[in-house]
Amino acid sequence: MEALLAGPNALETDIGWGTSIPADTELLDINIRDGIAIVDLSAEFEQGSGTLAEVMRVAQVVFTLTQFDSVSAVSFRIEGEDSPSAGLTRHRRLEPRGPWRFPGGPPVRTA
């Protein structure tokens, strides 16, 4: 989560990677309980305009956390409160279809 919130490094920026997560977003707390990662982020996470931007930033967090077998869902909190905006309450593991390849890694297959 810390690397995700830090944004792309110089190499990632050079190859065209970016982020939908607003700058200055801070991780206030994270706990994993019964397979659910409860992520508390600063108010900056909700800044920005448009539903697509909101969906993209939520997806970035969900994909980051559900890569670990111990996490099957993500619940969002903003400044310690459940987040009512954009349905940011609980998101199941996002499962892309087909084989995906992450840079430097083997293909990832989904069921």
In order, the DSSP letters of 8-58 are --HHHHHTT----SPTT--EEEEEEETTEEEEEE-GGGG-SS-HHHHHHHH
Per-residue pLDDT of the chain (111 residues; tens, 9 = 90+): 999 999 999 998 899 988 999 989 999 999 999 888 889 999 999 887 677 888 888 889 988 988 888 888 888 888 988 765 544 545 544 444 444 444 555 444 444
pTM value?
Answer: 0.74
Integer angstrom CA distances of residue 101 from 13, 54, 98 = 19, 25, 10
Sketch the domain layout of the chain as residue ranges: 2-96
**Cα–Cα distance, 22 to 47 (Å, whole number):** 7
